[in-house]
Amino acid sequence: MPKPLITLLAAVLAAFAVSHYSDHIDPYYLDVITGVGINVILAVSLNLVNGYTGQFSLGHAGFMSVGAYLSAAVTLLVGPRLFGDAGGTGLEQGLLFLGALVAGGMGAALAGLAVGIPSLRLKGDYLALVTLGFGEIIRVVFQNVESLGGALGLNGIPNYTTVFWVYSFAALTVFTVVCLVRSTYGRGFLATHDDEMASEAVGLDTTRYKIVAFVVGAFFAGVAGGLYGHFKLTITPTGFDFTKSIEIVVMVILGGMGNTPGVILAAILLTVLPEVLRAVDQYRMVLYSLLLIVLMLVRPRGLFNFDYSAIAARLRARLTRARSGD
Amino acid sequence: MFHPFRSLVALAVMGALSGAAAQESVKIGEYASLTGKEAAFGQSSHKGTILAVEELNAAGGVLGRPIELITDDNQSKQGESATIVKKLIFREKVVGILGEVASMRSLEAAPLCQAYKTPMISPSSTNPKVTEIGNYIFRVCFIDPFQGTVMAKFAKETLKIHRVAVLTSVSSAYSVGLAKYFKERFIADGGVIAIEQKYTEGDKDFNAQLTAIKAEGVEGIFVPGYYTEAALICRQARELDMSLPLFGGDGWEAPELVQIGGTAVEGCYYSTHYSPQVDTPAVKKFVARFGARFGGETPDAMAALGYDSAQVMVDAIRRAGSTDGTAIRDALAALKNFEGVTGATTMDKDRNAVKAAVVIMVKDGQFKFVQSVAP
Amino acid sequence: MTEFLQQLLNGLSLGAIYALIALGYTMVYGVLRFINFAHSDVFMVGAFIGYYVGEHLPSGTVLGGLVVLAAAMAGCAVLGIVIERLVYRPLRGGPTLNVLITAIGMSLFLEYTGQLVFGATPRAFPSIFPAKVISVHGLIISMNQLIVILVATVLMVALEFTVFRTKIGTAMRAVALNPKAAQLVGINIDIVISFTFGLGSALAAAGGVLYALNYPSIDPLMGVVPGLKAFVAAVLGGVGNIPGAALGALILGMVETFVDGSRWSTYKDAIAFAILIGILLFRPAGLLGRLSAEKV
């Protein structure tokens, strides 16, 4: 079996094990751990678009909200109809949740298609603005839909999210992104990122690659949204605004655009750090914005942008030497 | 400005009760929007809560132990309140939770407080859904179904107007809810809603909506939104030569209403939970002590409700005689005629406070108490 | 009919403010080929400078109003130049993505520092010009609206003069056309770019003061939505095209006002973005712009 697949299965099993014992973990810590997992999905999926393919999307939170609302609608509407008052067994609920998450992801992917096709033809700056605008349109739409709660938001979402679900999907996201990048598609992404014009000149359909990256990214953002909704149990239209998109963008930039391990590290750091620094919460956004500016000026590659495979190889070599040297 | 207060309160109390052995304090958690978009309301409520805790500690605390208030800021953002409440319950081991001003964020935290059997008291969330979450969730204010009828009655009976327009903020559940209950009552009383218009929070330009309203020849406009937009709406209405009264709900109450609205808000009305001018000894003492503690500031409804929420929580702990969540909950449910600064408070079967509302008129740049409306 | 005329006037006044902001966006884009996200926050700073200066002046005088306007414009011109010098210039020549990210960072920095320094609560902008309302056959014209339209027109005429009849203006157009060639003929690019930023920021500041005049509640996040809409206006008219920006802004102001008075008023923010997507789909060059081929 290829290595990434083994890693994926191992991760899913580990997530299952942790989830099983989650009753013994302090709910606050569990909360932070779950938050980390969701942010990893968001950051890694955005990295595919912003980092590897070089397309600047500022509307990732918009796709997240589509996924959140759609999956919540499924569990809230379909659930009672399927299970009646009995509520369904654990397995049934699990299957429903999986279905809801996938539905949310597909909805977000469709939205990604709708936004991507017109705008990915154009230059970078315009995409940034269109994705920003899309996020705003989504917010306005959800605010006006009374059946989804309107401005008050949707409450009473069933508490289905567990460490198992979050980290299984996180592993799946990383797996998908890594596999995509290593495939022919990956070559296309990187070529588009490096020099769009030259790629077009040698016959690559850059628009197609851009759209694929965009749609896959949107799908996982939608899944993350569904997980988020069933974790916080309440979602509101204004919660998925531009600020949320920016928080994810900062993770991608900090981690190094196009560097998945770096982005994962950044996601972990930027989820845990605000908890630790609750005392200076009011400075959070100021520090984030300064971080963006300073990073771009001083180290645009990102703070965690190291060649992790090279580091791993060196470590392995050192260990082998140490063992044989004895 | 308003960082977690725990260390100072605990220290001061430890000093005061130096005679007693190192007693473990009774911890009460608070989650509020101290920064961000709704910072004004959150900070006001928080000040009231702090004052109450300090006064209670000066009087000996509760159950012979000092009270420790642990506050965390949710930055007016979605998602934060849930994490904060978990932290308060499991890391800080609080026995009760106070919060929040906005119904949206109360709805986020309430399911958790209910699941973890920790009583929660919202100082000023008026959306009925909040207490419907479960029997551990309470509030010390009235709810929008009642508040809507207050202004409907006032408009019809006192102002004697029969034909109004309603201008609602669709981005605020509070506004939408209040509008709905106002309309129901107003129409039931025989009034006519000639036209309805909508806006979004953050909007600055209401000329379009007001022009449409003006064309309908109404006698008054009900604006169940927040003070920033209400002030601008009044101004623009006056500029469009509309001299009719505008009125609203407790979202209007802030000094900025007059600052931004200027002469345009003169002669306008709104309903709220309390007025510093109510002539009772309790209110007078509260206003004086609040001013002394916070540099001469006059407490608004948010501050008064924040104060009452803390008082009610501690009173329940005292009557329960323990810090057990269920015991406190039962004591809260049995609350009857508690003398709060926002009036006599009794919990009804839905855990909402049964109390009167006050109608305020803006006169000479001041908020003048007009009348009290009982449920 | 009166209602229609009233809305027309409202739309004109709103469009004039969008135009002032849009001009700054379009000029910077023309010269540097990037969207200055921080522009909308310069607009906000202009309003706040106007607030603090206005507090110290007697209210309701024309002279006082002009002083406030001038102070805000001067202050923000300096701010714009400083931002360019410190943050954008070092990244010139590098990938545009980096500058874009930096611009976003700068925008957020201004907004959130503003919240820390000024507080998040909205403040009341002093009425600096004499506030009067004239009624003509039921049509209500407020002095503030007239001032907005007047000042905006004066500034736009002045801009047109600067860009087309002065040396520095010609230099700006040269740099916009071809930076390398402009350098070859001896134009100091640094000075031209600084000047462009200063000019654009001054206009944004004027927009900020006039906006605050009409909607006297200011807060640190007030620039976000108007800025976005002004950018849409610039794209609508053709980015890099000065009359285009004014035209786009006017159209946007009108459309928005009429939607605001209709049943769909709560979708009015979405309308601006729908227009953006529409324009990018069907006529990316904008109404008055020309699609230029990208040379390698």
Give C69-127 pLDDT, tens digit per residue.
Answer: 999 999 999 999 999 999 999 888 777 778 888 998 999 899 989 888 887 777 888 87
Alpha-carbon gap: B232 to the closest alpha carbon of chain C (Å)? 7
Q: Do C91 and A140 touch (CB under 8 A)?
A: no
Q: Do C270 and A128 touch (CB under 8 A)?
A: no
Q: What is the pLDDT of residues B27-81, one digit of tens each?
A: 999 999 987 777 778 889 999 999 999 999 999 989 999 999 999 988 888 889 9
* Chain C residues whose beta carbon lies within 8 Å of the beta carbon of residue A131: none
Tell me the angle at which helices C62-83 and C39-55 cross, rounded to the nearest 10 degrees: 140
- Asked if residue B308 lies in contact with residue B288, where contact means CB atoms within 8 angstroms, the answer is no
Task: Tell me which range, A295-304, C43-52, C220-229, is most confidently predicted by mean pLDDT.
Answer: C43-52
Q: What is the pLDDT of residues A167-203, one digit of tens each?
A: 999 999 999 999 988 888 888 888 888 877 788 888 8
Mutate to test the interface with A, among B3, B71, B87, B172 (most CBs of A within 10 A): B87
Alpha-carbon gap: B369 to the closest alpha carbon of chain A (Å)? 31
Q: Which residues, 6 or more positions from A205, have their beta carbon under 8 angstroms from its beta carbon? A: none
pLDDT at residue C140 tops 80: no
* Chain C residues whose beta carbon lies within 8 Å of the beta carbon of residue A118: 277, 280-281
Mean model confidence pLDDT for chain A: 87
Tell me the angle at which helices A242-255 and A260-276 cross, rounded to the nearest 10 degrees: 120
Taking the Cβ of residue B364 and every Cβ of chain C, the question of whether any pair is shorter than 8 Å is answered with no
Mutate to test the interface with B, among A230, A282, A283, A288 (most CBs of B within 10 A): A282
Q: Do C102 and A129 touch (CB under 8 A)?
A: no
Smallest CA-to-CA distance from C95 within A54, A199, A129, A306 is with A54
Q: Do C266 and A143 touch (CB under 8 A)?
A: yes
Taking the Cβ of residue C118 and every Cβ of chain B, the question of whether any pair is shorter than 8 Å is answered with no
Q: What is the pLDDT of residues B258-317, one digit of tens each?
A: 888 888 999 999 999 888 888 888 899 999 999 999 988 888 889 999 999 999 999 999
Q: What CATH number does the domain located at B6-142+279-355 have? A: 3.40.50.2300
Q: What is the pLDDT of residues A72-82, one digit of tens each?
A: 999 998 888 87
Kindly provide the ipTM of the predicted complex, given to two decimals.
0.83
Q: Do A130 and C280 touch (CB under 8 A)?
A: yes
Tell me the angle at which helices C189-214 and C167-177 cross, rounded to the nearest 10 degrees: 100
Taking the Cβ of residue C129 and every Cβ of chain B, the question of whether any pair is shorter than 8 Å is answered with no
Mutate to test the interface with A, among B108, B112, B132 (most CBs of A within 10 A): B108
Terminal CA-to-CA distance of chain A, rounded, Å? 33
Taking the Cβ of residue B82 and every Cβ of chain A, the question of whether any pair is shorter than 8 Å is answered with yes
**Could you tell me the pLDDT band of residue B21, with boundaries at 50, 70 and 90?**
very low
Residue type, A34: T
Sequence ranges of the domains in chain B? 6-142+279-355, 145-272
Q: Do C277 and A300 touch (CB under 8 A)?
A: no
* Chain A residues whose beta carbon lies within 8 Å of the beta carbon of residue C98: 296, 300
Q: What CATH number does the domain located at B145-272 have? A: 3.40.50.2300
**Could you tell me the pLDDT band of residue C295, with boundaries at 50, 70 and 90?**
low
- Asked if residue A79 lies in contact with residue A96, where contact means CB atoms within 8 angstroms, the answer is yes
Question: How far apart, in Å, are the Cα atoms of B225 and each of B42, B79, B194, B217, C20?
Answer: 17, 24, 19, 22, 31
Q: Which helix (H) or strand (E) holds C142?
A: strand C139-142
Residues 240-299 of A with CB under 8 A from B: 240, 243, 275, 278-279, 281-282, 284
Q: What is the pLDDT of residues B129-167, one digit of tens each?
A: 999 999 999 999 999 999 999 999 999 989 999 999 999
- Asked if residue B311 lies in contact with residue B290, where contact means CB atoms within 8 angstroms, the answer is no
Residue type, C269: D
Mean model confidence pLDDT for chain B: 88
Smallest CA-to-CA distance from C38 within C223, C213, C203 is with C223
- Whole-model pTM? 0.85
In terms of CA atoms, which chain B residue is nearest residue A144?
B170
Q: Do C96 and A124 touch (CB under 8 A)?
A: yes
Question: How far apart, in Å, are the Cα atoms of B235 and each of B56, B124, B172, B206, B238?
Answer: 43, 28, 21, 10, 5
> What pLDDT shows up at residue B86?
94
Residue B241 backbone zone (phi > 0: left; psi -120 to 50: alpha; other: beta)? left
